[in-house]
Amino acid sequence: MKNFISVSDLNEEDIYKLLIKAEYYRENDFSLAEQLFVANLFFEPSTRTKMSFTVAERKLGLEVLDFHSESSSVLKGETLYDTAKTFESIGANMLVIRHQSDDWSKELKNLSIPVINAGAGKADHPTQCMLDLLTIYQEYGTLDGLNIAIVGDIKHSRVARSNVCALQKLGAEVYLCAAPGFEDEELEVPYISLDQAVEICDVIMLLRIQHERHLHKAETSNYLDMYGLTKEREQRMKKHAIIMHPAPVNRGVEIDTDLVECSRSRIFKQMTNGVYVRMAIMMHLLEEWGTINENYFKEYQTFTAIK
């Protein structure tokens, strides 16, 4: 793995190795000795992903090259490729990119530094997926055999696409729940109602309504009662089942605001895990490229030992 672009590029062993590595960084302080630069190139808004990459980078001792597209030469018409080549030329050792295009990574395949996808249009959000997997793994010690419902605006969600792909690879039974118009028939996953999902699922993973990707603003006044996680539906969840959401949350729309921090909610734990997962991914790529030569990470636990 030279770049971290899509969970479809990872096999089960790759995923578990990264999860174990993330757990290592959660439990151990670590900082690189040499000066290395990472550029965070965000062309779409972000709070969690950008800031947790920044924290992860600083924890690793990496120098962060912050970039604001709204005050950059993008305004003069510079392309993504030329922006990326510029950072490569001035000495960036790695690029973290979020962009509205589904397939922006295709034009950056031949850079001489690793590239990490921090969100690609509606297509993929692989680091969000990894932090979601870590959160579920911490809860259950496995993904295999769990019933997991992804609920909400499936059609416009890169999180849904990444998670369906990874969860199925890891042996989870995945279900989708969506209001009319929010389904995506390209995903080969059964649709059930949220009322069915709360009765059978170990994880209810809610999604934000992606208003910015809609042609017409969706009407949401009845959404919570009809399609969202109300307190009444939460009461019918399995005793051990957890609630997740990649955030930002439309409180009172996808989820009753009182449930956002309830005992079942792992929403803020997901954000915490984002730092460790991103540390693991960045270190893995720097090792793969030989940018760091020492074996900084203790011997991996073997794949079979952790299953």
- The answer to the question of whether 49 is labelled as a binding residue is yes
Stretch that binds ligand CP, among 73-81, 194-202, 233-241, 242-250 (CB under 6 A): 242-250
| 277 in Cβ contact with 25 (< 8 Å) | no
Q: Does 246 bind ligand CP (CB under 6 A)?
A: yes
Nearer to ligand CP, 128 or 250 (CB): 128
What is the nearest approach in angstroms of ligand CP to the Cβ of residue 254?
Answer: 13
Stretch that binds ligand CP, among 105-113, 221-229, 245-253, 276-284 (CB under 6 A): 245-253
Q: How far apart are CA 177 and CA 89, in angstroms?
A: 46
- The answer to the question of whether 48 is labelled as a binding residue is yes
Q: Does 46 bind ligand CP (CB under 6 A)?
A: yes
What is the nearest approach in angstroms of ligand CP to the Cβ of residue 208?
Answer: 8
Q: How far apart are CA 107 and CA 109, in angstroms?
A: 6
Nearer to ligand CP, 212 or 225 (CB): 212
**Residues in contact with ligand CP, total (CB under 6 A)?**
8
Nearer to ligand CP, 70 or 188 (CB): 70
Nearer to ligand CP, 237 or 271 (CB): 271
Nearer to ligand CP, 47 or 79 (CB): 47
Nearer to ligand CP, 192 or 247 (CB): 247
Stretch that binds ligand CP, among 40-48, 168-176, 249-257, 277-285 (CB under 6 A): 40-48
Find the binding residues for ligand CP in span 114-133 (CB under 6 A).
Answer: 128
Nearer to ligand CP, 44 or 139 (CB): 44
Position among 31, 35, 47, 196 found at the interface with ligand CP (CB under 6 A): 47
The secondary structure of the chain as a DSSP string is --SB--GGG--HHHHHHHHHHHHHHHHS----SS--EEEEEESS--SHHHHHHHHHHHHTTPEEEE--GGGSGGGGT--HHHHHHHHHHTT-SEEEEEESSTTGGGGGTT-SS-EEEEEETTTB-HHHHHHHHHHHHHHHS--TT-EEEEES-GGG-HHHHHHHHHHHHTT-EEEEE--TT---TTS---B--HHHHHHH-SEEEE----GGG-SSPPP-TTHHHHHSB-HHHHHTS-TT-EEE--S---BTTTB-GGGTTSTTB-HHHHHHHHHHHHHHHHHHHHHHTTSS-S--SPPPPPHHHH-
- The answer to the question of whether 98 is labelled as a binding residue is yes
Sheet bearing 37-42, strands edge to edge: 63-66, 37-42, 94-99, 115-120
What is the nearest approach in angstroms of ligand CP to the Cβ of residue 48?
Answer: 4
Position among 3, 40, 49, 230 found at the interface with ligand CP (CB under 6 A): 49
Q: How far apart are CA 57 and CA 37, in angstroms?
A: 9
Contact residues toward ligand CP (CB under 6 A) are 46-49, 128, 246-248
Where is the binding site, in residues? Answer: 48-49, 76, 98, 125, 128, 158, 208, 247-248
List residues forming the annotated binding site for carbamoyl phosphate: 48-49, 98, 125, 128, 247-248
Q: Which residues are annotated as a binding site for L-aspartate?
A: 76, 158, 208
